[in-house]
Amino acid sequence: MKIDKRQRDGATILDLQGRITIGEGDVALREAVLAAVGEGATNILLNMGRVRSIDSSGVGELVAAYTTVTNRGGKLRLFSMPKRVLGVLEITQLITVLDILEDEAEAVASLA
């Protein structure tokens, strides 16, 4: 799992690449989100476009990231969801909880 961080219009964007699976991407995602929050980020966008796969541990980390950010009064959004990754979230009804946007422009605009 490779994660690049950048800023756009007051949002911290994490570009995720690879698998969010146990022992690999799940830990990397947790550390990246906690680091961003530790640096004062309140609005965090996860670019999921290049996520190849996710398992239940990765899903758990997405939920943990969401609660970590929202409990601090911030916002966490996901965008550019690959069909299969979205499918994993759909069948556990997490699309009713997590904020999922079509693309980066829509995600940035949703923070306004």
Partner 1 sequence: MPEPVHQTIRLSIGSRYENIELVKAVLDETLESLPIDEETGYWMGIALREALTNAIKHGNALDPEKKVDVCLAVGESGIDITVEDQGSGFDPGAVADPLAPDNLLKTEGRGIFYMRKFMDKIDYDFGAGGGTKVRLHKKFDAPAGSAEANQGGANED
CA dist., res. 79 & res. 111, Å (int)? 13
Range in contact with partner 1 (rule: CB under 8 A) among 5-13, 72-80, 91-99, 100-108: 91-99
Residues 6+ apart with CB under 8 A from 5: 12, 13, 14, 15, 32, 36
Q: Please state, as a whole number, how many other Cβ atoms lie within 10 Å of the Cβ of residue 36.
A: 23
E strand or H helix at 54, and its extent? strand 43-54
CB of 104: closest distance to partner 1 in angstroms?
25
Range in contact with partner 1 (rule: CB under 8 A) among 4-12, 35-43, 58-66, 101-109: 58-66
How many residues interact with partner 1 (rule CB under 8 A)? Answer: 23
Range in contact with partner 1 (rule: CB under 8 A) among 5-13, 32-40, 48-56, 104-112: 48-56
CA dist., res. 102 & res. 111, Å (int)? 14
Rule CB under 8 A: which residues touch partner 1?
21-24, 53, 55-57, 59-61, 63-64, 66-67, 84, 88, 91-94, 96-97
